[in-house]
């Protein structure tokens, strides 16, 4: 598996690669500009040579009848040969190509003058080969006049390229080493700055690495750069969620060990008593069945409480219709309603009441509220459930004719294992309801109904935020 680049490597590559590319492009541009300047300078030398030769010409006759003469010793060109690194050759011809003086093997110029000559003269420059060597040639159309005539001469001066190539190499080397020095300086400064800039990241990583395995306290990094604050804050939030999960897990294990120990001990004693024949078999089996039922209810509700915390950490949820979820739960509990002959009424608004939640959460909330109301309602009593929207909230109300709750019990009713009747419940139903409501950013309340100073029933009211994307 290929390891990803480190932050420092990405910064160095991201900074140095564009700089190196720019330096390469700049070096090529500087080299070309310098070479063009050198070429212009040497071309001027060739032009000066051609003009010097042109000054040595004489003519007799006019125009087509003109006869040109040239007395040009080779020593006249030696002044233009620099450091014996190049050789110069010339040819003087009439306009029709007739050889007048110079090197006959130098080909006659058959080109065309540029529309805009670079100099104030009838001159052209081109590259050619002479005596199997590359040469640079200057062509000058030189008017020649004397007291005896007037004509036009074609003066060609060729120079070998040794000096130009030497200068080009020197320009290239000078340009490259200067740019390489510049690149080295930039690279050194960049490495130093990147090292300094990434030091807080390394220090933060070392500080987190040095923590104990169970240390999930907030990260204290007051000197962290602003760019690291989102990472520090996000890591702190994640560690906070992990701490809550661990605390919940520890509490679940502690409560499970404590709460399940009692029914298991009772069940063991009942089995031993049945084996000894202390009670009749039917009675013993009935007691064992009740104990197993209470233990099963306790285990199921503890698992439900753990599942609420699990779903709280999963942001994925769906938009559900609250009335439909409550209707389905009421249908599931219809045998219990019929068993107590309750006068049951379900009222749901005609307009759908949408909430964002996990389906299991809504059904478990409704199931626990209805189950508690059925359990505490007197036989033949009334039980009403209403689902409606109220402003920005969805409201689920459960109204029963039970005995209500005392002020002392109200203070701890939503705490785990705080049942009003420990013989008939585990004390987790309302705790589950409360955790579900909090996970959905809602609120829950239990209010007694009174008449003549007596409790005549209990209203359980749940408010949940309405879904905004329906």
Predicted confidence (pLDDT) per residue in 274-312, tens digit: 888 777 878 878 878 877 777 776 666 666 666 766 666
Fold equal for 7-170 and 315-470: no
Reported as a single tens digit per residue, the pLDDT across 28-63 is 888 888 888 888 888 888 888 888 888 888 887 776
Residue 153 near residue 93 (C-beta atoms within 8 A): yes
Mean pLDDT on 65-88: 66
Q: DSSP letter at 466?
A: B
SS3 464: strand
Instruction: Report the alpha-carbon distance of residue 4 to residue 408 in Å, rounded.
Output: 61
Residue with tokens 């007691």: 287
Residue of 185, 124, 155, 150 whose CA lies nearest to 52: 155
Model pLDDT for residues 116-135, shown as the tens digit of each residue: 777 777 889 998 999 888 99
Distance CA 437, CA 422 (A): 24
| Residues β-bridged to residue 68 | 59
Phi and psi dihedrals of 453, rounded to 5?
75, 5
Q: Which of 309, 292, 315 is nearest to 364 (CA)?
A: 309
Say which residues have a Cβ less than 8 Å from residue 72's Cβ, sequence separation at least 6: 53, 56, 90, 92, 101, 102
Contact 353, 426 (CB under 8 A): no
Full-model pTM: 0.49
Question: How many angstroms separate the CA atoms of 76 and 452, rounded?
Answer: 138
| HSE value, Cβ hemisphere, 13 Å, CA-based, for 461 | 12
Which parts of 177-274 are beta strand (E)? none
Instruction: State residue 345's pLDDT score.
Output: 93
Mean pLDDT for 327-341 is: 91
Q: Residue 105 contacts by C-beta under 8 Å, 6 or more apart in sequence?
A: 130, 131
For 308, phi and psi rounded to 5 degrees?
-60, -45
What is the distance of C-alpha 329 from the center of its chain? Answer: 44
**pLDDT class for 26, splitting at 50, 70, 90?**
confident
Q: How far apart are CA 39 and CA 18, in angstroms?
A: 31
Residue count of the chain: 470
CA-wise closest residue to 458 among 393, 413, 391, 424: 413
In angstroms and rounded to an integer, the radius of gyration of the C-alpha atoms of the chain is 51
**Concatenated DSSP letters of 298-328:** HHHHHHHHHHHHHHHT----EEEEHHHHHHH
What the block records as the tokens of 310 is 């699990």
pLDDT of residue 83: 56
Burial class for 256, CB neighbours closer than 10 Å (0-12, 13-18, 19+): middle
Residue pointed to by tokens 């090197």: 103
Give the chain's end-to-end CA distance (angstroms, integer).
Answer: 45
385-411 residue pLDDT tens:
999 999 899 999 999 988 888 777 766
- Report the relative pairing of strands 67-70 and 57-62 from DSSP bridges: antiparallel
Say how far apart CA 416 and CA 430 lie, in whole Å.
8
Going from N- to C-terminal start, the domains of the chain cover: 7-170, 212-314, 315-470
For 162-203, what is each residue's pLDDT tens digit? 888 788 788 888 888 888 888 889 888 888 888 888 788 787
Instruction: Confirm if 149 and 68 have CB atoms less than 8 A apart.
Output: no
Neighbours of 116 (CB within 10 A): 5
User: Is the C-alpha dihedral spanning 448, 449, 453, 456 positive or negative?
Assistant: negative
- Identify the CATH number of the domain defined by range 7-170: 3.30.450
The CATH topology of domain 315-470 is: Heat Shock Protein 90 (3.30.565)
Number of H helices, E strands in the chain: 10, 14
CA distance 42 to 81: 11
């Amino acid at each position: 598996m290929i390891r990803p680049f480190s932050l420092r490597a990405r910064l160095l590559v991201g900074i140095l690669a564009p700089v190196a590319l720019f330096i390469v492009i700049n070096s090529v541009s500087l080299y070309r500009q310098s070479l063009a300047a050198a070429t212009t300078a040497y071309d001027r030398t060739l032009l000066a040579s051609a003009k010097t030769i042109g000054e040595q010409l004489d003519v007799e006759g006019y125009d087509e009848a003109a006869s040109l003469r040239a007395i040009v010793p080779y020593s006249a060109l030696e002044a233009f040969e620099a450091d014996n690194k190049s050789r110069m050759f010339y040819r003087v011809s009439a306009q029709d190509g007739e050889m007048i003086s110079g090197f006959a093997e130098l080909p006659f110029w058959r080109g065309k003058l540029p529309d805009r000559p670079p100099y104030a003269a009838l001159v052209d420059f081109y590259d050619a080969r002479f005596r199997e060597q590359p040469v640079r040639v200057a062509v000058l159309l030189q008017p020649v006049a004397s007291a005896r005539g007037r004509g036009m001469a074609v003066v060609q001066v060729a120079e070998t390229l040794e000096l130009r190539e030497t200068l080009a190499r020197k320009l290239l080397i000078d340009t490259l080493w200067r740019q390489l020095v510049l690149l080295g300086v930039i690279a050194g400064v960049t490495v130093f700055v990147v090292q300094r800039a990434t030091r807080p990241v390394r220090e933060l990583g070392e500080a987190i690495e040095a923590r104990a395995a169970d240390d999930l306290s907030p990260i204290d990094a007051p000197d962290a750069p602003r760019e690291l604050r989102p990472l520090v804050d996000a890591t702190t939030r994640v560690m906070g969620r992990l701490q809550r999960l661990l605390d919940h897990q520890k509490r679940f294990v502690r409560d499970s060990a404590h709460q399940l120990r009692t029914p298991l001990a009772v069940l063991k004693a009942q089995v031993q008593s049945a084996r000894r024949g202390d009670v009749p078999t039917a009675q013993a089996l009935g007691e064992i069945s009740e104990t197993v039922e209470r233990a099963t209810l306790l285990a199921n509700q503890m698992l439900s409480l753990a599942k609420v915390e699990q779903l709280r950490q999963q942001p994925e949820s769906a938009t559900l219709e609250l009335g439909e979820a409550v209707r389905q739960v009421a249908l599931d509990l219809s045998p219990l309603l019929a068993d107590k002959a309750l006068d049951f009424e379900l009222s749901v608004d005609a307009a759908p009441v949408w909430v964002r939640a996990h389906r299991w959460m809504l059904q478990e909330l409704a199931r626990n509220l209805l189950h508690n109301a059925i359990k505490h309602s007197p036989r033949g009593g009334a039980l009403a459930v209403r689902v409606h929207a109220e402003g920005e909230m969805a409201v689920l109300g459960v109204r029963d004719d039970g005995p209500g709750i005392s002020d002392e019990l109200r203070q701890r009713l939503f705490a785990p294992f705080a049942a009003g009747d420990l013989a008939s419940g585990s004390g987790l139903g309302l705790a589950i309801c409360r955790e579900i409501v909090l996970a959905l950013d809602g609120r829950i309340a239990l209010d007694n109904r009174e008449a003549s100073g007596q409790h005549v029933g209990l209203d359980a009211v749940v408010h949940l935020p309405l879904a905004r994307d329906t």
